[in-house]
Amino acid sequence: MQKKRGRRVWRGILWGLVVVVVLAVGGVLAWSQIGVMAAEPEPLAAVRENPAITVTDAEQGIVLAPADGESDLGLVFIPGAKVDPWAYAAILQGLAEDGVTVVITRPWLNLAFFDPRGLDAFTSAAPDVDVWGVGGHSLGGVRACQLAEDADALVLFASYCANDLSASGLPVLSLSGSEDGLSTPEKIADTRDLLPADAEMVEIEGASHASFGDYGPQAGDGTPTISPEDMHDEVTDLAGGFLEPLAP
């Protein structure tokens, strides 16, 4: 009787653990799908109608490429947490217009930290491109830092690294916003020592955290004073000017 009672106790414990694991996994899955910030329709429509680029919904991600097909430079871009990848198409289309192939990834569970894929899982979308930068917005930028050693350059949008790249010799461009309430100028300054000494640090006046995408206001963010159009132009000029010298 005592042995049977012991087995029942252990079975109860095991089933309890299974239930806890199932509930935890289900909770994470549900949380990852709730509150995803959608791309604003008007900027996205303008991207789809842009005759200067091609837009491909590929297995590796959303691919923006020059319409003439001439591109020898690429950028893999990782979205911020729970932001629709299409929300970055408008701010990145200027790079494609200037000859950069852009691959916007679709992070697993809408969170880059849950996506273990390496850089080549995304660069395979454009096998003829030999030089690749990697970049990302917010937590997507943190993940980009982890992939940076396999890339030729790193571009951060309102983000910073959690791993040390200070001795990597990697070309780095860090774009931040003066009105960012999430990746604040202070947070970016506090992690500056994790980047190479010659990293380009540019604070865009009037930009908020959500100014680096087109998905509407974000809780906890500051109020932008720069227009989306001016922000797009600023990012195109800065990121394009940074990437252009890397072209073979």
pLDDT tens profile 216-238:
999 999 999 999 999 999 999 99
Tens-place pLDDT, residues 8-52? 555 555 555 544 443 334 444 444 456 789 999 999 999 999 999
Model confidence at 127, pLDDT cuts 50, 70, 90, reads very high
Phi-psi region of 58 (alpha: psi -120 to 50; beta: other; left: phi over 0): beta
Nearest-angstrom CA–CA distance, 62 and 104: 5
Q: What is the pTM of this model?
A: 0.88
The answer on pLDDT for 69 being more than 50 is yes
Which of 162, 173, 163 has its CA nearest to residue 75?
A: 173
What percent of the chain is modeled with pLDDT above 90?
83
A 10 A CB-CB count for 126 gives 22
Tell me the three state secondary structure of residue 235.
Answer: helix
Q: Please tell me the predicted confidence (pLDDT) of residue 7.
A: 56
The vertex-138 CA angle with 37 and 79, nearest 5°, equals 55
The answer on pLDDT for 248 being more than 60 is yes
Q: Please tell me the predicted confidence (pLDDT) of residue 16.
A: 53
Average predicted confidence (pLDDT) for the chain: 90
Tens-place pLDDT, residues 183-225? 999 999 999 999 999 999 999 999 999 999 999 999 999 999 9
Q: Please tell me the predicted confidence (pLDDT) of residue 29.
A: 44
Q: Please tell me the predicted confidence (pLDDT) of residue 2.
A: 53
β partners of residue 74? 101, 132
Helix (H) or strand (E) holding 75: strand 73-78
Token pair for 13: 């414990």
- Average pLDDT rounded to a whole number, residues 156-160: 98
Task: Specify the range with the lowest mean pLDDT, choosing from 17-26, 45-54, 121-130, 157-166.
Answer: 17-26
Nearest-angstrom CA–CA distance, 169 and 140: 21
- Alpha-helix runs per DSSP H in 71-118: 89-97
- Average pLDDT rounded to a whole number, residues 122-141: 97
Nearest-angstrom CA–CA distance, 126 and 107: 18
